[in-house]
Structure 1
Amino acid sequence: MNTPSSSHDIHNRPLRFITCGSVDDGKSTLIGRLLYDSKALMVDQLDALGRARGAQSRNGQVDLSLVTDGLEAEREQGITIDVAYRYFATPKRKFIIADAPGHEQYTRNMVTGASKSDVAVVLIDVTKLDFTQERVALLPQTKRHTALAGLLRLQHIVVAVNKMDAIGFDATKFERVVRAFGELTASLEIVSFTAIPLSALEGDGVVAHTERTAWFQGPALLPHLESLALVEGHAGSHAHIAVQWVTRDNNDDHVRWVTGDVAEAAIAVGDEIRVFPSGASAVVAAIRTGRGTVQQALPGEAVAVRFDRQVDVARGDWIVAGSAAETSAPRQRAQATLAWLDTAPLTVGRRYVVRHGSRWLPARVTAISSRLDLQAGEWRDVGTTDAEDDWAAEPALAPTVNANDLVRAEVEFAQPLPLAAFAESTTLGSFVLVDPGTNATAAAGMIAA
């Protein structure tokens, strides 16, 4: 059961949601409909949209999918290539929308958008499903995006069963789709989701239900998004700051300020902190934010922090609030789930570059244990051998791990890092692998429990 959000949920920040799913499921059209029906589009925007190159009309109206297709190539080809962001607000809430491309080759774009989202709205096009079979089979990209949303620990998943107008708003078929999605989420260990029948093209079930969706007892999409409660961090979590820069005070060269973004929990004057990797400890003496000098900085705020003593801090370090007994020692090896995004296959034992917070350092994948079978919704053993302990050893190609695969692996870092399970800390538990030869993003990684 979803609980309504209070006026204080995460300090009234906008709810960030991403629309995802397979290609041509209606993601861009849904966003255009949300913006249009919630009066978030200006008259001049609609006029400009109608004159835009490649703007096709539907029933004499502007194609609302083009609201988020900002690239000319997107309008010409009728596809979404990059993640498009839009902001809008209702009297009840502010929103930031990310429209993710559905094509498999742009999965990395979806990961980028989802990593900063609170909610995933997974669209399912009922016209692409075969209802003659006993079990409704969902499309591979629907499964992949759902798996990624689960792995990224998005707080809520909403299933928008789209194009219901094409099947006469058949309630039985809707329930069959919901059942199929429920089987998928159970295999992926996703705890809950909310399903809503709608027609993005005609507006049924988007901002409000119509007579054609009157049989559905739940809310329409927008009211549901307005009601979702958000939680920042996890129970017992501490504030983290990935150090971006260290500056000196304008009035005193001996006073240094450490800058970065606060994550996971609030940080306050008087809090004890530790610096990683050095392990030095100190107490927060002063905090500056965009609001001025404050006693407490909230999660998501950019801050400058001064300590009660001189400690060795540099860009790439971590500031972790909490006593020394409550913080774990840095580790050099960890089990992780990798979303492989590079067109070049994963090479076990090869040296990559990892970004953890604001730190860059060498890393390598030393073993692959399993890969997610999207058709079965199960993790299957891969059975690769461990890489040699010597970093200079010849790497071994792992042909079973290609672009858009999800795998479980062991990762070794060149230096110890303050790591935590992604389920407990999305900041300490996440990293990005980069191919040093091409500078391409090779994988998004999430530390396992």
Structure 2
Amino acid sequence: MSGLLKFITCGSVDDGKSTLIGHILYDSKLLYADQEKALLLDSKVGSRGGAIDYSLLLDGLMAEREQGITIDVAYRYFTTDKRSFIVADTPGHEEYTRNMAVGASFAQLSIILVDAKQGVLVQTRRHARICALMGIHHFVFAVNKMDLVDYSESRFNEIVKDINELSETLGLQDVVIIPVSATEGDNVTKKSPNMPWYTGKALLEHLETVDVSEAENVSEFYLPVQRVSRPNHEFRGFQGQIESGRVHVGDIITTLPSNETAAVKTILVGSDDREEAVAGQAVTIQLDKEVDVSRGCVLTNNNEIPVAKGFEATLLWMDDSRLEVGKEYLVKLGTKKIAGVVKSIEFKTDVNTGEHLHADTIEKNEIALCKIGLSDKVVLDEFKRNKTLGELILIDRVSHMTSACGVVESVDTEGEKPYFQKDDVKVGGYVFEEFYFNLENALLSKADKEVKTYHVGDVVPVEGDSFEYPGYFDIVSLEDSAAVLIRDKRVQDIIPLDEYVFMGLPVVDERGFALEIRSNDDYQMFLREFEAADNKSEFHNKWFKFETYRRIVCTDNFWMI
């Protein structure tokens, strides 16, 4: 199998991750002469009593060498005759779980080491869960230190049983389990005579041949915009990396979240004009007309990618300070960075059992499903469908440190809206929705509330923060061609508009704007002018009055809306 393989080594502390990769490099003759000489010299004063300490090839920090553990993420590039590799050797200690998560975010395959003497530990489970969370689909569980259990097949089978149970719990699909000894080299680069009962491949052979290609929807083009290039007043191009599909000059594409359409005028790859570009290429795309696009927007041929300001995400908390529900963070989704807040914690996950636990807060290294609200709508998608638009980080607005990483599990597309309904007659119910002036983005926005459907007989809330209606009034909806009769703060009836008769009560539209109607003659004129109106704004300015029953209320709690 040719091509680059990006993989990560992880597992509990002192399971032998750095030693394993160091042994691969050493046995494969992938070291320069000076590196090999330095390794031999360092090993004489190392932690293995003079024997070669392969972990020194990756443990670069003085603290790592003194403690004999990995703290930082060590990246190494190497090539064999069959494949090229980038490996991230990550720390196993719980204190450095966030460092491990950074390494997992780039990998296609995970090697999780398990100590043959200790078996599957809590940190092993945590790392497996984080790798699955980060979208890794290919796993190798390397049962290490088999030399310390006399290469016992029965001990290996005991651990295999635990690994299979863990894999089933996490829904891992492509799982390979290999018995190895990182210090002695058994089954690392070649098959070991010490374990004749193992019939599978050695670790390096598996890495050289594993297929990590993913089935992609090549017809679905999308490009998250990283930068708008405007070198002069005649050129405006949108720059970024194509994440999926391909694009040709002349293609009609949609811009999100503005939902405008335009044709591709030119495609630049570097400074070269191209007729087409494909996934993985960094491009500049010029469109045939002006559109509302900035950093964080998306160019696509699929206008069904969600646009929303709320979603549920599984978060790995990485901050030393605990998560505070309601605290404001910066949320980075794709190329977009926007203010947001964790509105609630649905549950946290016990990394050992997978059980969902109630939580009011979460601590460092804990995993939880949370509801997140943003200050404005952005383009995003579920991680399982769209990795680039479904992964996120939370950034502390004061320290600018990464507080959490995570993935989008579900998107609140706000497709539902409140209604009045009787049989087949349906009327929009925004009349009782709260609207606030958002000081964060200077926009008038609707509060994010539970969707409500009203039926005949229901009590209605005639008073709120931003509205106050009388107990008796009518709602007339030109959009839905229906009317709602409110009597004594209850829904008396919901009828088609052609059955409605003006009875002298106050009248509002479905958004709560008062209608300047004082008589049945006014009402008939209102209907005629609506049918004849070429200029809707003039019609609304004449007949609709906002301030009669509604008022503007300011808020800086953007997560409410």
Query: d(CA) in 1 for partners of 2:265 and 2:41?
Result: 57
Matching residue's letter, 1:145: H
Query: Does the 8 A contact of 1:196 with 1:221 survive in 2?
Result: yes
Cα displacement (A) at 1:51 = 4.3
In 1, Cα distance between equivalents of 2:175 and 2:334: 30
The corresponding residue for 1:85 is 75
The answer for the alignment partner of 2:312 in structure 1 is 335
Matched AA of 1:286: T
Quote the offset at 1:197 in angstroms. 0.6
CA distance in 1 between partners of 2:246 and 2:197 (Å):
44
User: In the alignment, which of 406, 411, 421 is matched to residue 445 of structure 1?
Assistant: 406
* CA–CA distance in structure 2, aligned partners of residues 233 and 437 of structure 1: 41
Quick one: which of 6, 16, 29 aligns to 2:19? 29
CA contact (8 A) 2:220 2:302 kept: no
Alignment check: 8 A CA contact 1:150 1:190 kept: yes
Rate the CA distance shift 1:373–1:32 in 2: closer, same or farther, 3 A.
Answer: same
| Change beyond 3 A, Cα 1:74–1:263 | same
**Residue by residue, what CA displacement relative to the aligned partner does 1:18-67 show, whole Å, maximum 9, x if unpaired?**
00011110000011011111221111111233445995174744311011
Distance in 2, matches of 1:293 and 1:172, equals 63
Task: Give yes or no for the alignment of 1:403 onto 2:364.
Answer: yes
- Per-residue CA distance 1:267-326 (angstroms, 9 max, x = gap): 44444332222222223333333594434434333222222333232223222x2143xx
Does residue 72 (structure 1) correspond to residue 33 (structure 2)? The answer is no
Matching of residue 424 in structure 1 with residue 389 in structure 2: no
Deviation of the 1:106 alpha carbon:
1.1
Partner SS state of residue 203, structure 1: coil
What corresponds to 2:92 in structure 1? 102
Q: 1-side partners of 2:305 and 2:282: how far apart?
A: 25
- The 8 Å contact of residues 206 and 221 in structure 1, kept in 2 or not, is answered as yes
Whether 1:197 aligns to 2:158 is no
* CA–CA separation in structure 2 for the residues paired with 1:448 and 1:441: 20
User: Could you give the per-residue CA deviations for residues 237-261 of structure 1, whole angstroms, max 9, x where no partner exists?
Assistant: 7333232222235xx6412222122
1:283 matched to 2:273: no
1:322 aligned onto 2:298: no
Structure 1 letter corresponding to 2:123? Q
Moved more, 413-422 or 307-316: 307-316
Which residue is 1:364 aligned to?
341
Match in the other structure for 2:253:
273
Does the Cα contact within 8 Å between 1:267 and 1:298 map onto a contact in 2? yes
**1:157 deviation in Å?**
0.7
Once residues 102 and 108 of structure 1 are traced to their aligned partners in structure 2, the CA distance between those partners, rounded to angstroms, is 10
Q: Of residues 117, 125, 129 in structure 2, which corresponds to 1:147? A: 129
> CA–CA distance in 2 between the matches of 1:105 and 1:296?
47
Aligned-partner residue type, residue 427 of structure 1:
T
Query: In 2 relative to 1, CA 248–442 (structure 1 residues): closer, same or farther, beyond 3 Å?
Result: same
Q: 1:103 to 1:298 in 2, by over 3 A?
A: farther
Segments of 5+ residues of structure 2 without an aligned counterpart are 411-561
Other-structure match for 1:133: none
Asked whether 1:173 is paired with 2:150, we answer no
User: Is the aligned partner of 1:127 residue 2:102?
Assistant: no
Return the offset for 1:411. Answer: 1.0
Distance 2:249 2:268 in 1: 10
The number of residue pairs the alignment matches comes to 410
Amino acid in the other structure paired with 2:400: N
* RMSD, matched Cα: 2.2
Residue of structure 2 equivalent to 1:387: none
Letter in 1 for 2:252: E
Structure 2 CA distance for partners of 1:53 and 1:32, relative to 1, 3 Å: closer
Alpha-carbon distance between aligned partners in 2 of 1:350 and 1:233, rounded to the nearest angstrom: 39
Report the Cα distance in structure 2 between the residues aligned to 1:70 and 1:269, rounded to whole angstroms: 49
What is the CA-CA distance between 1:119 and the residue it aligns to?
0.2
**TM-score, with structure 2 as normaliser:** 0.69
Find the counterpart in structure 1 of residue 445 from structure 2. Answer: none
- Indicate which of 306, 309, 312 corresponds to 2:286: 306
Pairing 1:117–2:107 present: yes
Q: Against the structure 1 CA distance between its residues 422 and 41, is the aligned structure 2 distance closer, same or farther, given a 3 Å change threshold?
A: same
Residue identity matched to 1:308: D
Q: Which amino acid aligns with 1:118?
A: Q
Letter in structure 1 aligned against 2:334: G
Distance 1:71 1:190, change over 3 A: same
How far the C-alpha of 1:413 sits from its partner, in A, is 1.1
1:380 aligned residue: 356
The question of whether the paired residues in 2 share the 8 Å contact of 1:114 and 1:149 is answered with yes
Distance 1:181 1:331, change over 3 A: same
Work out the CA distance in 2 between the residues paired with 1:406 and 1:190: 18
For 1:16 and 1:290, how far apart are their aligned partners in 2? 26
CA distance in structure 1 between the aligned counterparts of 2:298 and 2:325, rounded to whole angstroms: 28
Range moving further from structure 2, 143-152 or 230-239 = 230-239
Distance 1:381 1:214, change over 3 A: same
In 2, the alpha carbon distance for the partners of 1:266 and 1:51 equals 52
Checking the alignment, whether the CA contact within 8 Å between 2:330 and 2:395 is kept in structure 1 is yes
Cross-structure match for 1:353: 330
Higher RCO structure (Cα 8 Å, ≥6 apart): 1
Q: Distance in 1 between matches of 2:129 and 2:102?
A: 14
Q: Is residue 220 of structure 2 the alignment partner of residue 238 of structure 1?
A: yes
Q: Quick one: distance in 1 between partners of 2:141 and 2:19? A: 15
Bigger mean CA offset, 214-223 vs 229-238: 229-238
SS at match of 1:56: coil
1: CA distance between counterparts of 2:108 and 2:139? 9
Aligned position for 2:229: 247
**Structure of higher CA gyration radius:** 2
* AA partner of residue 297 (structure 2): D
